[in-house]
Amino acid sequence: MNSEFYSNHFLLEKVSEGIYAAIAKEGGGSIGNAGFVDLGYQTIVFDTFNTQQAAEDLKTMSKKITNSPITWVINSHWHGDHIRGNQVFRNSTIISSEVTYQKMRELHPARIKKQKEGLQGLADYIDSLKEQLRNNNDRKLEHQISFLSEFQASLPTLELVLPQQTFKEEKTFHGTERSAKLFTLGGGHSYSDAMLYIQEEKVIFMGDLLFVHTHPTFFDESSPEQWRGILKTVEELDFKIAVPGHGPVGTKNDLKELINYIENISQIAKTSNHVDDIPLPDKYQNWSSPEIYKQNLKRLQELN
């Protein structure tokens, strides 16, 4: 990509004809991945990142590359790093599952209000981290300061923009170049997780149902059993490229790896009493966010 398509927040990657993945950079205002699909005279944007700054870059690049209006914007699930850029796309039709819409409407207003009220506290915290950085040149700390500064910059003008349309199980979009199917198989990672499948190009956007070389996050709302079941169903589809919610662009093999991860960690959580003593398995040593492994084990024990 030339400098015209450079962003501090993500790396834009062409994954197939007319299909681009926007892979979040550490320390930027994205957190999660996003992307867009050129259907021909209309464009679908999949997820809108954690900040307006990141969303603005995505919108600009999408328009330049496709030379088409952004007709549809999909929110894969309700979590902030996939929907907080929605206000940048308020002139497009934002769509989500019915459950995602309800959760966004129910849970985000209070969160955003609290975060805006905590702006001074956030500024003080960032200053304290900068002080630490002066004494300790730590790359991880640099990324944290950079990410929190993006978050801080987004808050004063942040508005919650809800989807204007919802769907139940699936919806198909037809363009002059290609078609795309939006669908949900229920909840696994969140209360409801939606995916976008472009069969002709053998590409699927999976939101947070897929983490690639990155420890997935289990929340109280997550259902490991349902999550695994959804991945097994999706594995049967005809695709070569899977764009995850976190981590680099993957393949069908990455679904297998995540299915195995969920099976392994669920088994350990069931059979072990002392989670703190369990070492991180060798095969996950190089995955991003290793600290999440213990959190996941503890959460799964609580679910059991």
Half-sphere exposure of 50 (CA within 13 A, CB side): 23
> What average pLDDT does range 268-278 have in this prediction?
85
Segment among 42-56, 191-205, 259-273 with least mean pLDDT: 259-273
pLDDT range class, residue 2, cuts 50, 70, 90:
low
Residue located via tokens 């796309």 = 89
pLDDT range class, residue 303, cuts 50, 70, 90:
confident
This model's pTM is above 0.85: yes
Q: What DSSP string runs through 228-251?
A: HHHHHHHHTS--SEEE-SBSS-B-
- How much is the pLDDT for 137? 80
> What average pLDDT does range 11-20 have in this prediction?
97
- How much is the pLDDT for 3? 64
**H or E stretch at 274:** none
Contact 31, 81 (CB under 8 A): yes
Q: What DSSP string runs through 153-200?
A: HHGGG------SEEESSEEEEE-SS-EEEEEE---SSSS--EEEEEGG
Contact 27, 147 (CB under 8 A): yes
| Tokens standing for residue 64 | 């330049």
Give yes or no for residue 276 having a pLDDT over 90.
no
Vertex 70, ends 73 and 38: CA angle to 5°?
Answer: 95
Closest of 74, 76, 82 to residue 54, by C-alpha: 82
Closest of 58, 62, 60 to residue 48, by C-alpha: 58
Q: What DSSP string runs through 198-214?
A: EGGGTEEE-GGG-BSSB
Instruction: Please state which CATH number belongs to domain 3-104+161-252.
Output: 3.60.15.10
Contact 122, 193 (CB under 8 A): no
